Amino acid sequence: MTYLDYNASAPVRPAVIDAMREALGQTGNPSSVHGFGRRARRALEEAREGVAALVGAAPDRVVLTSGGTEANNQALRSIAGPCAVSAVEHDSVLGAAPDAVRLPVDGNGRIVLDGLAERLERARPAVVSVMLANNETGVLQPVREVAAIARWYGALVHCDAVQATGKVPVHLGELGIDLLSLSAHKLGGPQGIGALVVREGVGPAPLLCGGGQERCRRAGTENLPGAIGFGLACRLALEDISFTPRVGALRDELEARILKVAPSARVLGREVARLCNTSCLAMPGVSNQTQLMAFDLEGIAVSTGSACSSGKVGPSHVLAAMGVPEAEASSAIRVSLGWASEAADVDRFVEAWTRLFTRTRGGNARLSASA
């Protein structure tokens, strides 16, 4: 099996599994005052420190949540007033602010800065939300520039950094933002745990009430094993300095080989800065559903876009916002690599892609011409 769907969920790192297994053997509620509870509290706060270190924040600014979706919802639904969001945001942002002003992007999927000030002046949003890296294309957004403009009009700035964390440097202060969403399972941690990181002086209201946990910002007994796995995954991501050059080289080789086989193929968002691990590939004339099934039969896992919306019928809202023609958008798949990816994974994918292209689009002629 070849797993190339890290943007949906990365395999859990072995050290994280070991740490969580040990945590599951411990007894104690972090809110209890006896020895068992105090030991659990220490473990929870050590995990929180690991999360905070990854994004340059103080530990007490980290609110542990059930994942990125909850963090996005708390960031946007707990602040009174209108919202403005980029047109390529994750569904959890669009769903949390269904009436938000949609900020347009260009053909590469980057938010259009020209005219942004005028749009914000008209809308006067209480909060602006722009993701750091797109989950479908990997395209990086100019978050610092957006934040500077939004602050001029008095808006708070939220950034969904779920896909970016662990792949590019993320620092709350350097980005100039107020709220930051994270998720463990994108970077080798467990599913079901994430965080909303808040700037000093910003106090989003809790979505869950009825307890004093998380400094009264999220009620409910904390997911201690999940938090321990999350914290360790963040520390490991900080230590993995070879991630970007190694995985980036694999992704670049994959794209170069595909384009050599089929010059008419397209890598969406390729002209601008992207995550090193992500490639959105359009195979001319072959639907993404056909590709998905064919690759799955060969034991290769890729996706047609966001895992949160891949079961829905209809084109990607991200590619539509980029102005990608529907026929091309319907032939696009997402290939995403990660910490355990190897050259053999690229080889298997390129070989399978070539066979499918040859079989369905008469690629033999192209292959013969380029031989």
Question: pLDDT truncated to tens, each residue of the chain (371 aa)?
Answer: 999 999 999 999 999 999 999 999 999 999 999 999 999 999 999 999 999 999 999 999 999 999 999 999 999 998 989 999 999 999 999 999 999 999 999 999 999 999 999 999 999 999 999 999 999 999 999 999 999 999 999 999 999 999 999 999 999 999 999 999 999 999 999 999 999 999 999 988 999 999 999 999 999 999 999 999 999 999 999 999 999 999 999 999 999 999 999 999 999 999 999 999 999 999 999 999 999 999 999 999 999 875 554 455 467 999 999 999 999 999 999 999 999 999 999 999 999 999 999 998 754 444 434 43
One CATH from 3.90.1150.10, 1.10.10.10, 3.40.50.970, 3.40.50.1100 for 2-9+241-362: 3.90.1150.10
Q: How confident is the model at residue 363, as a pLDDT?
A: 46
* Cβ-based neighbours of 154, under 8 Å, separated by 6 or more: 124
Six-digit token string for 16: 């994280």
d(CA 46, CA 27): 17
Q: How confident is the model at residue 235, as a pLDDT?
A: 98
Catalytic, 276? Answer no
pTM of the model: 0.94
Q: How confident is the model at residue 77, as a pLDDT?
A: 93
Q: How confident is the model at residue 312, as a pLDDT?
A: 54
d(CA 75, CA 89): 14
d(CA 251, CA 14): 24
Domain 2-9+241-362 identical in fold to domain 14-239? no
Six-digit token string for 186: 């994108």
Q: How confident is the model at residue 307, as a pLDDT?
A: 55
One CATH from 3.90.1150.10, 3.40.190.10, 3.30.479.10, 3.40.640.10 for 14-239: 3.40.640.10
Q: How confident is the model at residue 371, as a pLDDT?
A: 39
Strand, coil or helix: what is 19?
Answer: helix
Q: How confident is the model at residue 368, as a pLDDT?
A: 39
Q: Which of 209, 234, 280, 308 is catalytic?
A: 308
Taking alpha carbons only, the member of 190, 140, 195 closest to residue 169 is: 140
Q: Where are the domains of the chain?
A: 2-9+241-362, 14-239
